[in-house]
């Protein structure tokens, strides 16, 4: 697989000797951030996803514009949306104090994603480590490879398969939408004109839709925020899947998991009924996603500051 093709592989004990306190430092700062901003875990979890889907889990998403680098932060999925960059930088700073030039930004993203899941009530897992950081970014990759909320079921599945992920990974990882927010602009189409005929999405509960319309008008309010899981927005649980069954998934990309494919629908039902089954698969799929094309060995570098490469040529 891609993960082994690069001549190195990831393992959870990677920093056990070089930076034994690394995991504890990440966890402490994630916990502190959660206490100040209960949305932060969701934002951190999403950063890891948006990193891994573009050139692999190499912290490319963290780079600012500089030299020849065109930042992924300006892509359609990330612009006015991705957040948590300052917190990642704070973690990096603490790790540079403890063990300079040792822990990669890509590994920080993977650890922060796990700790974010745990602190909101979700499952835990050992995070394979040893990723190195990219020396470049890909704005076009970010625009093309990350699924959009109005993509069809088939397009979304194809984008996952391109990363070596399958239908089970798609459904379980979408369960991340059990926490966090979405902007009005990401689902407005469903409220007013889903298929170009001036009618709302019929797979959206009409009472729920009328509530959403109040804060997400036909025009204006693009950045207004909504819970992805209205039932338990700060708790990592299986309410996301229960919502899909009652046609209260917020994004079209959520609801299609229940409405457009038989196998996917069965998985949604399973996870709605059995939180443990969801948690177990989520942990496995997160490890799988974290293994997308890591840079190992002599490839890449260990950035000193996550928002820029060590040397600009
Ligand atoms: C399956 C395809 C997916 C699509 C189309 C999608 C799309 C979106 C959209 C549109 C938002 C709201 C962004 C905004 O309006 O600002 C969002 C938020 C979020 N996504 Fe996804 N997503 C997908 C899969 C995933 C995966 C695999 C993960 C993590 C493993 C994830 C984690 C999150 C989280 C946690 C949030 C909330 C972030 C916050 O509150 O800051 N998503 N997603
Ligand atoms: Ca990346």
SS3 assignment for 57-98: CCCHHHCCCECCECCHHHCCCCCCCCCCHHHHHHHHHHHHHH
Task: Please determine, for residue 145, whether its predicted confidence score (pLDDT) is greater than 60.
Answer: yes
Beta carbon of 187 within 6 Å of any ligand 1 atom:
no
Q: Give pLDDT, residue 2.
A: 44
In which band, very low, low, confident or very high, does the pLDDT at 103 lie, cut at 50, 70 and 90?
very high
- Cα of 5 vs centre of ligand 2, distance in Å, is 17
Residues at the binding site for Ca(2+) are 51, 54, 56, 58, 60, 72, 178, 229, 232, 237
Average of per-residue pLDDT across 105-125: 99
Which residue reads 């680098």 in tokens? 69
> In 3-state terms, the chain is what percent helix, strand and coil (to 5)?
50, 5, 45
Q: Give me the chain's average pLDDT, please.
A: 96
Average of per-residue pLDDT across 55-82: 97
Task: Please determine, for residue 182, whether its predicted confidence score (pLDDT) is greater than 80.
Answer: yes
Task: Please determine, for residue 3, whether its predicted confidence score (pLDDT) is greater than 50.
Answer: no
Task: Please determine, for residue 7, whether its predicted confidence score (pLDDT) is greater than 90.
Answer: no
Of residues 267 and 312, the one with the higher pLDDT is: 267
| Predicted TM-score (pTM) of this structure | 0.97
Task: Please determine, for residue 206, whether its predicted confidence score (pLDDT) is greater than 60.
Answer: yes
ipTM of this predicted complex? 0.99
The rounded distance, in Å, linking the Cα atoms of 102 and 121 is 30
Beta carbon of 265 within 6 Å of any ligand 1 atom:
no
Task: Please determine, for residue 312, whether its predicted confidence score (pLDDT) is greater than 90.
Answer: no
Q: Give pLDDT, residue 127.
A: 98
Average of per-residue pLDDT across 258-278: 98
Average of per-residue pLDDT across 134-140: 98
Q: Give pLDDT, residue 311.
A: 87
The rounded distance, in Å, linking the Cα atoms of 161 and 289 is 11
Average of per-residue pLDDT across 242-253: 98
Pick from 37, 41, 44, 46 the residue to mutate for probing ligand 1's pocket: most ligand atoms within 8 Å of its CB: 46
In which band, very low, low, confident or very high, does the pLDDT at 8 lie, cut at 50, 70 and 90?
low
> CA-CA distances (angstroms) from residue 98 to 90, 186, 193, 270?
13, 40, 53, 44
Question: Considering only CA atoms, which of 105, 130, 106, 125 is closest in space to residue 115?
Answer: 125
173 Cα nearest atom in ligand 1 = 27
Check if the beta carbon of residue 34 is closer than 8 Å to that of residue 40.
yes
Residues at the binding site for substrate are 147
pLDDT digits (tens, 9 = 90+) for 11-55: 999 999 999 999 999 999 999 999 999 999 999 999 999 999 999
Q: Give pLDDT, residue 21.
A: 98
- Cα of 173 vs centre of ligand 2, distance in Å, is 17
Check if the beta carbon of residue 5 is closer than 8 Å to that of residue 298.
no
In which band, very low, low, confident or very high, does the pLDDT at 81 lie, cut at 50, 70 and 90?
very high
- Cα of 47 vs centre of ligand 1, distance in Å, is 9
Catalytic position from the list 50, 93, 239, 311: 50
What is the CA 310 to chain-centroid distance, rounded? 26
180 Cα nearest atom in ligand 1 = 40
Check if the beta carbon of residue 141 is closer than 8 Å to that of residue 132.
no
Q: Give pLDDT, residue 76.
A: 98
In which band, very low, low, confident or very high, does the pLDDT at 164 lie, cut at 50, 70 and 90?
very high
Residue 50: active-site member: yes
Task: Please determine, for residue 124, whether its predicted confidence score (pLDDT) is greater than 60.
Answer: yes
């Amino acid at each position: 697989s891609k993960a082994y093709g690069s001549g190195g592989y990831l393992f959870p004990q990677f920093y056990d000797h070089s930076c034994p306190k690394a995991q504890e430092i990440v966890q402490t700062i994630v916990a502190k951030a959660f206490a100040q901003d209960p949305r932060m875990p969701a934002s951190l979890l999403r950063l890891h996803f948006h990193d891994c889907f573009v050139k692999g889990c190499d912290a490319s998403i963290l780079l600012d514009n500089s030299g020849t680098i065109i930042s992924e932060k300006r892509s359609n999925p990330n612009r006015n949306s991705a957040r948590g960059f300052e917190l990642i930088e704070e973690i990096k700073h603490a790790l540079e104090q403890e063990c300079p030039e040792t822990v990669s930004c890509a590994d920080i993203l993977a650890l922060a994603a796990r700790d974010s899941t745990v602190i909101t009530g979700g499952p835990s897992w050992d995070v394979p480590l040893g990723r190195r950081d990219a020396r470049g970014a890909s704005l076009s990759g970010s625009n093309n490879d990350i699924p959009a909320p109005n993509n069809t079921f088939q397009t979304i599945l194809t984008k996952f398969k391109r990363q070596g992920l399958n239908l089970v990974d798609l459904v379980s990882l979408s369960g991340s939408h059990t926490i966090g927010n979405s902007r009005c602009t990401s689902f407005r189409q469903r409220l007013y004109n889903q298929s170009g005929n001036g009618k709302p999405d019929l797979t959206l509960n009409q009472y729920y839709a009328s509530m959403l319309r109040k804060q997400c008008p036909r025009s204006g309010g693009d950045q207004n925020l909504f819970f992805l899981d209205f039932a338990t927005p700060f708790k990592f649980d299986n309410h996301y899947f229960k919502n899909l069954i009652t046609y209260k998934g917020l994004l079209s990309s959520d609801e299609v998991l229940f409405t457009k494919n038989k196998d996917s629908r069965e998985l949604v039902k399973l996870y709605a009924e059995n939180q443990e089954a969801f948690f177990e698969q989520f942990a496995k799929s997160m490890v799988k996603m974290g293994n997308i094309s890591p840079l190992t060995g002599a490839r890449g570098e260990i950035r000193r500051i996550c928002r820029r490469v060590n040397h600009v040529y």
